[in-house]
Amino acid sequence: MSSRFESAKVQYEQLGIDVEAAFAKVKQVPISVHCWQGDDLHGTEVIANELSGGIDVTGNHPGRARNGEELRRDLEKALSLIPGKHRVNLHAMYAETDGVPIERDQLKTEHFEKWVKWAKSLGIGLDFNPTVFSHPKAADGLTLAHPDEEIRTFWINHCKACRKIAAYFGEQLGTPSLVNIWVPDGYKDTPSDRLTPRKRLKESLDAIYADEYDPMLVLDTVESKLFGIGSEAYVVGSHEFYLNYANQNNKLYLLDTGHFHPTEVVSNKLSAMLLFHDQLALHVSRPVRWDSDHVVTFDDELREIAIELVRNDALGNIHIGLDFFDASINRVAAWAIGTRNMAKALLYAALMPHRHLKQLQDEGDFTSRLAMQEQLKTYPFGDMWDEYCKRQGVPTETEWLDVVKEYEQQVQLKRESEKAKQR
Ligand SMILES: C[C@H](O)[C@H](O)[C@@H](O)C(=O)CO
Ligand SMILES: [Mn+2]
């Protein structure tokens, strides 16, 4: 134990904070790390499709993972830099089919066998997502709400196949797999009918969820969005649509921090949601002026989300997932930065005197409330975080980047020279 930690601990204890209890609390919280940061959403399908659906990855930092093996290796490196035991979130486009093209509505558990074996070896759970974009049948931006029944049926069958695969993950890994449905459906310009596409989406979801699964195996979530590139005027799966759908059909609602109006914040929604939902799911992202999916930083909103979860004792009710993708920086570092920040924000929140702060508010002493909130910002939190990392056996804040730099030299950059040789 460092003397810096010892002296920082005294300062926190003077505020009545149990530092050891805070460490123990945060250690229990799994974060679902999205695999798609590692390869810019290329996926591992035999027939590669262009990224579509109004999401975009910019940058071409060298060393992108080019197949499942490389992606798992990179993910493993990233996980070794993040304190705590986490999960991995897969998309259907990461199927491995031995070079045989398999359509998405035909996907089977065997196409994810390598992922399951890998997750077992690490003792982690897998979450899952149907990939309802980057495909010729999603070329016009409509899928589950498409006017063409054949296209809708294709995507319904894809989602059904995904839930079956997720049930297998749940069974094999002994932890439910969260299956999140997000579809890009919408219109660039003012629709002449908003109702019918929503009716079709509702019917498609009903068809998908007609197959029942044990919640110990599969947890269903639906993700809303306000607008996307190409769906600026109208998104079928809006907030109201999915909130009502989730309520009526006993599904979990997923809030993506980039999917609301830029002046809205998810932190302000959580307490309202938690009063009516036993469980909620999050995609923590960082929207810069729009749903840009920047790497999550230790900013005000991230801390505020963590504070809401900790002070409302909601860590057991929330499924925290990440959703960012940046190809302009080292991708393993992107995972490490974003996921460490999520864990860091939870620790920051767990080290606050919430009872005292609530009391100040109830007493109307807003001056002391603000003063205390500001005082905490310059407390020696860095020493707490470093000690937490050390105890979890991962590098501290000044150490982890060297590990990535070494990995970049030894592994990632060699992929570039192999590529050059093949040319
Ligand atoms: C790749 C993800 O499924 C996707 O980012 C989705 O969750 C989303 O947020 C789309 O804007
Ligand atoms: Mn998302």
Q: What is the pLDDT of residues 161-215, one digit of tens each?
A: 999 999 999 999 999 999 999 999 999 999 999 999 999 999 999 999 999 999 9
The pLDDT, as a whole number, for residue 423 is 60
Does residue 196 sit within a domain?
Answer: yes
Does residue 166 sit within a domain?
Answer: yes
Mean pLDDT of 78-84: 98
Active site residue 182: yes
- Token output for 40: 């810019």
Active site residue 158: no
Numbered residues of the known binding site for Mn(2+): 259, 291, 293
| Ligand 1 lined by 55 (C-beta under 6 Å) | yes
Q: Supply the ipTM of this predicted assembly.
A: 0.99
Q: 223 C-alpha vs ligand 2 centroid, how far in Å?
A: 7
Is residue 220 scored above 70 in pLDDT? yes
Note the pTM of the prediction, 2 decimals.
0.97
Does residue 1 sit within a domain?
Answer: no
Does residue 115 sit within a domain?
Answer: yes
Is 85 exposed, middle or buried (CB count within 10 Å of its CB: 0-12, 13-18, 19+)?
middle
| Ligand 1 lined by 29 (C-beta under 6 Å) | no
Is residue 420 scored above 80 in pLDDT? no
The residues facing 178 across adjacent strands are 219
| Ligand 1 lined by 115 (C-beta under 6 Å) | no
The pLDDT, as a whole number, for residue 133 is 98
> Of 283, 294, 319, 344, which one is the catalytic site residue?
283
Query: 342-388: per-residue pLDDT in tens?
Result: 999 999 999 999 999 999 999 999 999 999 999 999 999 999 999 99
- Tally of domains in the chain: 1
Does residue 12 sit within a domain?
Answer: no
DSSP letters for 74-113:
HHHHHHTTSSS--EEEEEGGG---TT----GGG--GGGGH
| Ligand 1 lined by 291 (C-beta under 6 Å) | yes
Is residue 158 scored above 80 in pLDDT? yes
Does residue 6 sit within a domain?
Answer: no
Active site residue 365: no
> Of 220, 256, 386, 408, which one is the catalytic site residue?
256
Owning domain of residue 178 = 18-350+393-422
DSSP letters for 258-313:
TSS-TT--THHHHHHHHHH-S-EEEEE-B-SSSS--BPP-S-HHHHHHHHHHHHTT
Active site residue 259: yes
Q: 43 C-alpha vs ligand 1 centroid, how far in Å?
A: 14
Query: 247-291: per-residue pLDDT in tens?
Result: 999 999 999 999 999 999 999 999 999 999 999 999 999 999 999
The pLDDT, as a whole number, for residue 344 is 98
| Ligand 1 lined by 129 (C-beta under 6 Å) | yes
Give 1's pLDDT tier (boundaries 50, 70, 90): confident
Active site residue 294: no
**Closest CA relative to residue 261, chosen from 271, 253, 269:** 269
For position 264, which CATH number holds?
3.20.20.150
- Provide CB contacts within 8 A for 49, sequence distance 6+: 43, 134, 135, 136
